[in-house]
Chain A
Amino acid sequence: MNSESTKLHLEDVYKTYGEKLVLDNIDLKVTAGELCTVVGPSGCGKSTLLRLLLGQEAADSGSILIDGKPVSHPDPVRGIVYQKYSLFPHLSVFDNVMLGLRFASSPWWLPWRDSPEHTAFAMHMLEKLRLVDARSKFPHELSGGMQQRVAIAQALVKRPPILLMDEPFGALDPDTREQMQLYLMELHEELALTIFFVTHDLEEACFIGSRLLMISQYYADDRELNVGVKRGAKIVADHLLQRQPLASTVKDTHVFREFITELRQTGFNPANKQHVKEFNLLHPNSFQTLTSAEHS
């Protein structure tokens, strides 16, 4: 992997809230075209990591680079799809999708003037997400799955170098959810997107990801236990996933089930404390910078 295709580069990132260390020396490299899923037990700092990437909050130390540039406040360098509130309720589906293009092309105090290319591109996105018939509806008239499709289209018209997704399918019913998962995988392959996908659902993470990151606060290292060392979550596993041909039946296979059980042991079990040197960081892009205290 050459450095040019590196979309996201985190090194030695720490984040504390008050007394609590949340993220503890996070190192991560994501290259173009990866669909990187992030899982972990609740409270492990997945959402914190996402906020750092968004620039909504600043890390205490360490560097976060997107396309080689340090991140600052939220800007079009990354797109975001939330579980809720992604859409603007006062705008129709079409206007929601056009918003990113309009922000860039007209000043805020003038009525929007759409160039034909922009309109065509937005319509193209709507077509891709099968939303053409719903284009003049308001978000509250849509089903949950449709709303999330609009949110994806809305983020994608800006062609962000990296698309962040924060449990985007968490509020959907199981059927719609699976449809959306298949759908996202299709889009990912077709448009060669780089996606950073945070979820609490292990099955979902294993199913859709081309790479799986496990963040967990349950691990051991060489730092003394008795001197009040503050410890936060780390990336405890980093797997390259073999993307199956797009079929949801894979979820029922024995191998898939076993893999999930293994992952659950690694990250979700407080009693199972792997040592930092034993983390399963098999992904070719994976790297780990341990301090001398962590591994003496």
Chain B
Amino acid sequence: MENSNKKFTPRLWGVHAQQFRWLKFLLGALPFVLMVTAYLWASDVRHEENPDDKLLPSIAQMVEAVTPMMFKENPRNGKYLFWDDTLASLQRLAIGICAAYLVALWLGVNMGVFSGMESIGGPFSTFVAMIPPMAVLPILFITLGVDELGKVALIFIGTTPVMLRDIYLATKALPREQLVKSLTLGGSDAAYVYRIVLPQILPRSIDTLRLNLGAAWLFLIAAEAIASTDGLGYRIFLVRRYLSMDVIIPYVAWVTLLGFMLDYSLRKMSRMVFPWYHGAAK
């Protein structure tokens, strides 16, 4: 007998809906296809009126604009503009977010475990988290200069308090039983922090890091837009003056792709290194 329930299973709408694998994939691709189609159509319409339209460049125009940036060596310094921008931006991003992550992780775990550290750091970190990072950007540029340090510092200041708070709360949420258990097994304070708490917080902190990568990109682009001589954000804002949408759009797409790849690799890594975390969360 056939499962009579089957024919009543809706495919799309309602809480009982179940999609086939291929349908899931198709539905996921749909918005992308729609967006690209809509753009190409609009671009086409505008190009019919004016073949030199700059506002909605066609794919061909974009390729034409970006190819030399990617593959043509600058005769003066032997650099490739596109890759050079990417490298400069990623370097700033990596240094800023890694420093923020390490500080947030160490402080957050220690504040979560030791009430003395909590008393010292708690009110201050809450206060600092309230400072709008963009508002202190001028201060950073004035005091630290408009070179790398100022931009890295902005990313650091913008993301540390949020990550710190998240990791601190996650540490606080560990059951008290674990501390007592660890002590009755002969563990010292340090052994508890670095052998029991830290390994359990690490996968959680990777999630926090992934969430804050978005904010880090925001601060990076902002800092580069205001004062820089290279970087993805700098380029986007530089070519804005010439209405060079054929450069801006590929650059934005590239930034998005980089962000996605970072997020994806962090997620994959976490699944590989901390199988117990992802298994238990299910």
B 162-186 contacts with A by CB, 8 A: 175, 177-186
Q: Closest residue to B201 on the A side, CB-wise? A: A90
Write out, one digit per residue, whether chain A residues 72-98 have a CB within 8 A of any chain B CB (1) or not (0).
011110111010111011100000000
* Chain A positions within 8 Å of B191 at CB level: 103, 108
Q: How far is the CA of A82 from the CA of B175 in the complex (A)?
A: 11
Is A54 in contact with chain B by the CB < 8 A criterion? yes
Q: Which residues of B contact A104 (CB under 8 A)?
A: 186
* Nearest B-chain residue to A81, judged by Cβ: B181
Please choose the segment from A37-45, A120-128, A153-161 that sits at the chain B interface, where 4 or more of its residues have CB less than 8 A away.
A153-161
Cβ–Cβ < 8 Å partners of B199 in chain A? 90
Q: Does A141 contact B (CB under 8 A)?
A: yes
The answer to whether B177 touches A82 (Cβ under 8 A) is: yes
Contact across chains for A103 and B186 when beta carbons are under 8 A apart: yes
Fill in one digit per residue for B187-204: 1 if any A CB lies within 8 Å of its CB, else 0: 110110011100110000
With A76-B184, A76-B185 as known contacts, state yes or no: A88 contacts B196, CB within 8 Å. Answer: yes
Interface residues of chain B: helix, strand, loop or mixed (majority): helix
Is B280's beta carbon under 8 Å from chain A? Answer: yes
A158→B182 CA distance, assembly (Å): 12
Contact at A158–B274, with CB atoms within 8 Å? no
The secondary-structure label for the interface of chain A is: loop
Please pick, from A103, A138, A139, A141, the residue contacting B187 in the complex, using a CB distance under 8 A. Answer: A103
- Which of chain A's residues have a CB closer than 8 A to the CB of B180? 54, 56, 74, 80
Task: For B190, give its contact among A78, A86, A90, A108 (CB under 8 Å).
Answer: A108
Instruction: Give chain A residues whose Cβ lies under 8 Å from the Cβ of B187.
Output: 99, 103, 108
The verdict on A140 contacting B276 (CB below 8 Å), with A85-B178, A158-B186 known, is yes
A100 interfacial by beta-carbon distance below 8 Å: yes
Contact: A88 with B183, CB < 8 Å? Answer: no
Contact of A84 among B177, B184, B194, B196 (CB under 8 A): B177
Report the bound CA distance from A99 to B194 in whole Å.
Answer: 13
**Cβ–Cβ < 8 Å partners of A141 in chain B:** 279
Is the Cβ of A108 less than 8 Å from the Cβ of B195?
A: yes
B277 at the interface (CB under 8 A from A): yes
Given contacts A78-B184, A89-B200, A158-B185, contact A138 B275 (CB under 8 A): yes
Given known contacts A75-B183, A76-B185, A160-B184, A89 and B276 CB-to-CB distance under 8 angstroms:
yes
Contact of B185 among A84, A89, A100, A140 (CB under 8 A): A100
Interface centre among B175, B183, B184 (most CB of A within 10 A): B184
A–B complex contacts, Cβ < 8 Å, 24 sampled:
A74-B179, A74-B180, A74-B183, A74-B184, A80-B184, A84-B177, A85-B175, A88-B178, A88-B196, A89-B276, A89-B280, A99-B182, A99-B185, A100-B185, A103-B191, A103-B195, A108-B187, A109-B190, A139-B276, A139-B280, A140-B276, A155-B184, A155-B185, A160-B184
